[in-house]
Structure 1
Amino acid sequence: MENSMKITNLFGKFTRRSYLAMMSGLVVSCLVAPANAADDNPYGLLDTDSIMVGTMSDAKPYAFVTADGTFSGFDVEFFQNIAKRLGFEKDQVTFVGQDFAALIPSVVNGRFDVAVGAIGTTAQRQKVADFTDGYLAGFLSVLSSDESLSTIEALDDKRLGIVQGTLQDDYAQKHFPKAQLVRFPDNNSAVAALNNGMVDAHFLDFEAAKQFGKNYPGLKVMQNFASFDAPAGFVVRKGNSRLLDALNEKIHEAMQDGTWKELHSKWFPGSPMPKQYLPQN
């Protein structure tokens, strides 16, 4: 009996010691695992080895698909440069084109890490997603073949095309209350409707309007409206501060070393450059 008691006590001590050691190991492993996970995926990406980017395929010169099926444009090249500064090569950045109105929801829903494509920063959009510091500001334009549409009043009762969910959509609702707004998923379909007489004009970004004017000589920019209150930024999932902070740091690096200026001159020749985006000596 005494031997049995000793064996039982020894077994009890052993099991308690083992249990404490086991629990201690679990606590340590729980503390270490998230740190390792953060090290492996420091920017909270969907895939640690690549960046999934939502953009547009018809918004030249910002983001568009070339004849060989590759994405190009100011926003595309600028983001590729920023991604390289973060350690991602060109083939590690995947661009996927879709309608503008779906870009921010797709980031929110976890389809993309980032949305890119001259996306203006507004208070309403910031309620559902985070935006980097601004990197573009410009003008909005009325594109038409009707030269009489040179004033705001001339737009009254006219069918004005806009891309749904864009800054132009918001602007037109506020400033052209008597115009008949006709919404489209993208610029191509809106310009096609303009050429077919389904709308009287299309309201879009100035740079894109210039490009459509080159492609269709009958269309001209009738009037411009300054829009510097909602600069374009890259969109990331709300709360992903690691990626947001990293992008902001690299955006300002690219501005300071002249990369932004070089790309702007390439894609927007002759267009004004905001001083805050230029190297500060």
Structure 2
Amino acid sequence: MNPLRTTRTLVASATAVVLALGTASLAQGAVPADHDDDQITIGIKFDQPGIGLKTPDGTYTGFDVDVATYIAKQLGHEPDQIVWKEAKSADRETMLQRGDVDFIAASYSINDERAEKVDFAGPYLLAHQDVLIRADDDSIKQPSDLNDKRLCSVTGSTSAQNVKDEIAPDAQLQEYGGYSECLTGLENGVIDALTTDDSILAGYAAQEEFKGKFKLGGFELSNENYGIGVQKGSDLKDKINTALEKMVDDGSWDAAVEKNFGPANYQNEPAPQIGVIVD
């Protein structure tokens, strides 16, 4: 046999094995080879004021942004070493599984179905499903008052349907394309209430153009434990939990809540005990 041909065959075979192993690793969510060790990539919402918002000037604001920035600092990364990626609700598990991000902080409620696919640090915030109403509306004082009211949520959301199915079956459910449309309808009197997580509602109500116009019902219709999503089996989970505990202990958590939700008079729950899920 020609020795040169044999050498070429062995090189080609070895190359194929390396490529196959590399492809398999990426499929399992490994960090790409061109990853900069000085950087950390974090998934957040880009369209939720008070939670995670990409502003017109390209900066990022919100409670999740502040929490994620604090965690990154504890992991050894300065703010200018953070790469922010939009984490839409339907994409979060896939982003983690593929290794597109190091972790996700995006109003990410911990539940059993998600926990089968990814791991969660936290919880770092206990939110509740609630309603937002006009500040001068005294007709909605308890959940049952939503009967015969025009109730809005975004298309595809389960929040409004939960109210209609379990709390106020006679509510007039209206679905809009986005929360901003619901807010406009609420402001103009076209709808009577908007429902989703109270933290999200508080973020919208705290916007400068809406200050003083809306109030939260304070109904606590469900418990939503917000967690930090990481890849299944990642050692980041314990490190992030340690960072969250420090954030609570040194007062940074309270400062972030006041900064992002304070203008809406959001009656937030105290910082949750890290690692304890509230049913």
Match of 2:228 in 1: 234
The 3 A distance-change label for structure 1 pair 26 and 252 is same
Q: Judge conservation of contact 1:116–1:235 (CA < 8 Å) in 2.
A: yes
Q: Judge conservation of contact 1:58–1:186 (CA < 8 Å) in 2.
A: no
Mapped partners of 2:8, 2:180: distance in 1: 66
Mapped partners of 1:173, 1:112: distance in 2: 37
The 3 A distance-change label for structure 1 pair 256 and 200 is closer
Match of 1:248 in 2: 237
CA deviations over 1:106-160 (Å, ceiling 9, x no partner): 7389695354321212345456x52413322123321112221112221113221
**Identical residues among aligned pairs (%):** 21
Determine which of 132, 157, 165 is the counterpart of 2:148: 157
Determine which of 249, 258, 270 is the counterpart of 1:273: 270
- The total of aligned residue pairs comes to 255
Question: Following TM superposition, by how much is the alpha carbon of 1:47 offset from its aligned partner in structure 2, in angstroms?
Answer: 5.9
Match of 2:251 in 1: 262
The 3 A distance-change label for structure 1 pair 24 and 175 is same
Gaps of 5+ in 2: 259-266
Mapped partners of 2:165, 2:33: distance in 1: 38
Question: Following TM superposition, by how much is the alpha carbon of 1:34 offset from its aligned partner in structure 2, in angstroms?
Answer: 4.8
Q: What's the TM-score once normalised by structure 1's chain length?
A: 0.68
The 3 A distance-change label for structure 1 pair 199 and 94 is farther
SS in 1 for 2:218: strand
SS in 1 for 2:220: strand
Pairing 1:60-139 to 2, within 5 Å after superposition? 60=50, 62-66=51-55, 68-97=57-86, 101-104=89-92, 107=95, 112-113=100-101, 114-126=103-115, 129-133=117-121, 134-139=123-128
Specify the structure having the higher radius of gyration (Cα).
Answer: 1
Mapped partners of 2:268, 2:61: distance in 1: 19
SS in 1 for 2:159: helix
Mapped partners of 1:226, 1:182: distance in 2: 19
CA deviations over 1:9-28 (Å, ceiling 9, x no partner): xxx5x849x94997499559
SS in 1 for 2:72: helix
Q: Judge conservation of contact 1:142–1:202 (CA < 8 Å) in 2.
A: yes
Q: What's the TM-score once normalised by structure 2's chain length?
A: 0.69
SS in 1 for 2:251: helix
Q: Judge conservation of contact 1:119–1:234 (CA < 8 Å) in 2.
A: yes
Gaps of 5+ in 1: 1-11
Matched, 1:197 2:189: yes
Q: Judge conservation of contact 2:110–2:225 (CA < 8 Å) in 1.
A: yes
Determine which of 209, 216, 241 is the counterpart of 2:201: 209
Q: Judge conservation of contact 2:108–2:226 (CA < 8 Å) in 1.
A: yes
CA RMSD in angstroms, aligned pairs only: 4.3
Mapped partners of 1:151, 1:234: distance in 2: 32
